[in-house]
Structure 1
Amino acid sequence: MKGLKKKRRIQVIVVATAALIISTGFVGYAMRDGINFFRAPSEIAAEPPAPNETFRIGGLVEEGTLKRGQGETIHFSVTDGGASIPVVFTGVLPDLFEENQGMVGTGRYVNGVFEASEILAKHDETYMPKEVTDALKEQGVYRHNEGAPES
């Protein structure tokens, strides 16, 4: 009887471990498209990602680059002070989107242009996304407003 209980306990542990490994694999597989990494323009210029990789880019909208095309297509460049990446977006921009302001975009880098599927603008005069603030600090061009929260 003792040997049978021990054998059953080992079987339960093996089955539970296998179920845990399989469920972890399914969760990882399901999340593969839902994870978007953040990259600064300098990182993209130094090491361009694959055209099929979706990621987030952030920085300041470069002054003098905002151009509205036919229909809802908008062209501009985003910079972190170290590099500038051209961006194209088709859609309606947020109301607070303008030059020299922080932005974060989600999309793909294809043929030297970031094709954005979503654009987020800063929240008010004092807010800038943490990823953008960190990237600008690394480049040494971050200007913190007095009394403003960093993130």
Structure 2
Amino acid sequence: MIYKLKREIVANTQDKDYTYILTELSNKGIYCFSPRDLRTIFGLTERQAYEAIRVLKRHRLIAMVEKGKNLLLGFAPGKVLGNPFYIATSLVTPSYVSFRSALNFYTLTEQVSSTVYVAATQKHSEVKFGNYAYKYVRLQ
């Protein structure tokens, strides 16, 4: 079964038809992924994974959030890009939206900020993507 699936993916990548990868990631609910994830899920070689990412970027079906992290936009990019809290928590795990951003989410404040604050157990630098800046605060 796995061999057949791998053979089908390799055939699709050789035909330059990457919609299969897009559909499978979407069906599995994986919207933030790395080249390693593609290799693990689909059994691709490193070269094939990077080629798939390159083609998907060129067709604007994915966007690079930071080095090694790609965001699946698919055919409805507004759905993914419209949720900055999902993007923020996908970059670092475990993490959760907190501080002023959480207050905004629960409509306890009317101030809308372009900075999303995230509490995480590991240190991570600030990421700017789209109209938002994502700041990670390390908790011990």
For normalisation by structure 1, the TM-score amounts to: 0.23
For normalisation by structure 2, the TM-score amounts to: 0.25
Q: Which has the higher helix share?
A: 2
Larger Rg: 1
Higher relative contact order (CA 8 A, sep 6+): 1
